[in-house]
Amino acid sequence: MNTLDLNSTHRLRARVLMGMCGTLMILGLCLGIFNFGRPEVRLYASLQIVYALFSGYLFILAMKNRHTLWQTHLYSYSLAFLVLLGIYLAKLESFLLAWAFTLPIIFYLLLGRKAGKLITLTMMLSIMVIIYPKLPSFRPVMTNFAFSYLLIWAISHIYESNRESAELALHKLALTDPLTGTNNRLSLQERFNQSTQVSEHKPLTLLLLDVDHFKQVNDNFGHVAGDDVLKSIANLLTKYTDDLDLFRIGGEEFCIFLHNSSTQESLTLAQTLRANVERETFVSQGLKIQATISIGVTLFKEDMQLCDLLRSADEQLYRAKLSGRNRVMHNLVPAIEEEVMAQTAPLVT
């Protein structure tokens, strides 16, 4: 799960946590004060009041988005402990057992599927162990509790699974270019952050590609043909790079991240892409179309932001356009003559 997915899930859990904290703060104070006057449950009432105060504290943190995952876990486990202790101390006719049916929903919403599944199973077994000695010889209560709890557990699990799947699908849709199926500009910043963190001091190179005279393709052959050319170019680019590192960031503009590639490897790949687009004949609705691309290549330097990296690559792309297009320009090794490389680049299939 990537950063945007985590942020979205964190926001959802924060809203659920705020709702729970606000409700249980009021409820815990009321029950704690009411039960404090009963000597036999005074200790339990004190725990209810402490939990209510903890709820208020966590509500403030969640409202300011300053709560942490371990605090959410502690809050959930504390509630589980209070419910178990209440069931242990009370008689079955007190109906404290009903609180147990809220736990699977709470655990899944706050902790997710993995942690929620584990603590839900633990709670079910613990409650059954607690209530078993309290039951008469005929034990329909145990059967009814088990089936009711399992039903709520199954619903909670299915809901959370579907919610996560839907969230991932919507997230992927938001980050994917609908025409070419590549990543879009929205996903570029996230991938840049990941790449600069993981790569550490390893080289990170950016290739910025632009289809030459693309307006003429649309004017001469139509926009449908233009779309087909873009899709075909995107398919060609995917043969030479990881799907995660290819982006369509403009109408006819793409960019590629290269990780841990040497200067020569980066330039060789750029020339390979340029040469293979040049030699390709694109077909749309029976029409044969030729196209070329210009490429600007730049290297990530420490403390660079994404806008700085794109600006540097765009400067090289602009040089390639001014030099006659169908060129690769770079700022990697100034001694290399770009035009010589453009003329001698191998055609790789």
Active site residue ranges: 252
Q: How far apart are CA 203 and CA 139, in angstroms?
A: 68
Q: Which residues of 337-347 are buried (b: 16+ CB within 10 A; e: fewer)?
A: ebeebbeebee
Say if residue 83 is exposed, middle or buried (CB neighbours under 10 Å; 0-12, 13-18, 19+). buried
Q: What is the DSSP string of 266-297?
A: HHHHHHHHHHHHHH-EEEETTEEEE--EEEEE
The residue to which tokens 């700085």 are assigned: 308
DSSP for residue 181: -
Q: Which two tokens stand for residue 130?
A: 């607690």
**Torsion angles phi and psi, residue 259, rounded to 5:** -105, 130
In a 3-state reduction of DSSP, which class is residue 212? coil
Where helices occur in the chain by DSSP H, the ranges are: 3-36, 42-63, 69-89, 103-131, 140-174, 185-199, 214-221, 223-238, 263-279, 306-322, 338-344
φ, ψ for residue 200, nearest 5 deg = 55, -115
Distance set, CA 287 to CA 3, 38, 232, 273 (Å): 43, 88, 14, 23
**β-strand 293-299 against 204-211: which pairing, if any?**
antiparallel
Distance CA 349, CA 336 (A): 25
